[in-house]
Amino acid sequence: MGRLRKMEDTVSLHPSFCVWAGGEPMHFFGVFDGHGGPHVAALCKEQMHAILAEELAIAAEDYLAHRDEEGAEERAWRTALSRSFARVDALAPAACACGRVATAAEGACACPLSAGERCIIVGSTAVVALLVRDRVIVANCGDSRAVLSRGLDAVPLSVDQKPDRPDEMARIEAAGGRVLFIDGPRVRGVLAMSRALGHELLKPEVICEPEITITIRSDDDHCLILASDGLWDAISNRKACDIARQCKEDGILTRAHAAGSDEACRSSGGGAPGGHQPEPPCRHAAAVLARFALCKGSCDNISVVVIDLNVMG
């Protein structure tokens, strides 16, 4: 939660959430940073992966019918992601803070933070990473970010969609909107990003179409970091990757040492020292990054996911 009064970020982790056309497992990871309330971020956490699995199943059929065409597979992935973001965006005005969508038949949700009415000012960023075979597919809408740790480099796999980005400002103005500089650039002086899910009041200037990158994995890839702007406003891409890589290396050594100690105890008839396993390195890295961002002065909600690419096939 950081230094804010409430938590509006969510994360969603679904390894092997579906099977792609060739029988390969696909893995889903997402970070969603809510604005104006937790409703749309909660909706993303609860439903984005399920909706995307449906769209990928449809896209797989189309890909198999056109697999001989150049770029057919990548087009299928892009179409599925774009359609999924659009479907979640369409559900956003009726979202409840628990991630449920109110329907006319069921009525409003009974949870304490129920919207009770259309959430036209509530929205969320969405950065989603899919892993399949040797590909990392990232779809981004807003200013959460995906960064790949490759060797000693930090490779951004998404670009923040800020209202003063020249292409985004031109698009906003072409839609009849304005970018006002009120504590930074904001759409109509309200929203500090140019794309997001929800925010019905700010359409058509604020759109839900994600920017998508597809990256071929390398043997030098250590991990993938997904995080909300609470991290990136305080820590550079390079520093975040350095910290994650060091935590991962230290964790591997710690686990190897613990395994050796356990084996030694078993050989001598003793019990396992300490009685517990060390924390998984990537979980530890995510926690360290969040704490470091707080120490560096971040005042926002902070959500971090670190994915070990050496174990995610």
| Cβ-contact 194, 143 below 8 angstroms | no
| Cβ-contact 166, 160 below 8 angstroms | no
Structure tokens at 43: 């909706």
The pLDDT of residue 110 is: 59
| Cβ-contact 213, 138 below 8 angstroms | yes
Query: Domain 9-308 carries which CATH code?
Result: 3.60.40.10
Arithmetic mean of pLDDT over the chain: 89
Domain map (residue ranges) of the chain: 9-308
- Decide if pLDDT at 10 tops 90: yes
Closest Cα to residue 127, out of 31, 42, 57?
Answer: 31
pTM: 0.89
Q: Give the chain's largest Cα–Cα span.
A: 76
Structure tokens at 222: 């250590």
Angle between the 39-65 and 72-91 helix axes, to the nearest 10 degrees?
150
The pLDDT of residue 125 is: 98
For residue 164, which phi and psi values (nearest 5 degrees)? -95, 5
For residue 264, which phi and psi values (nearest 5 degrees)? -65, -40
The pLDDT of residue 5 is: 82
What DSSP state is assigned to residue 174?
A: H
pLDDT in tens, 185-219: 999 999 999 999 999 999 999 999 999 999 999 99
pLDDT in tens, 71-112: 999 999 999 999 999 999 999 998 877 777 766 555 556 565
| Cβ-contact 141, 210 below 8 angstroms | yes
d(CA 120, CA 101): 14
Hey, what amino acid is at 164? D
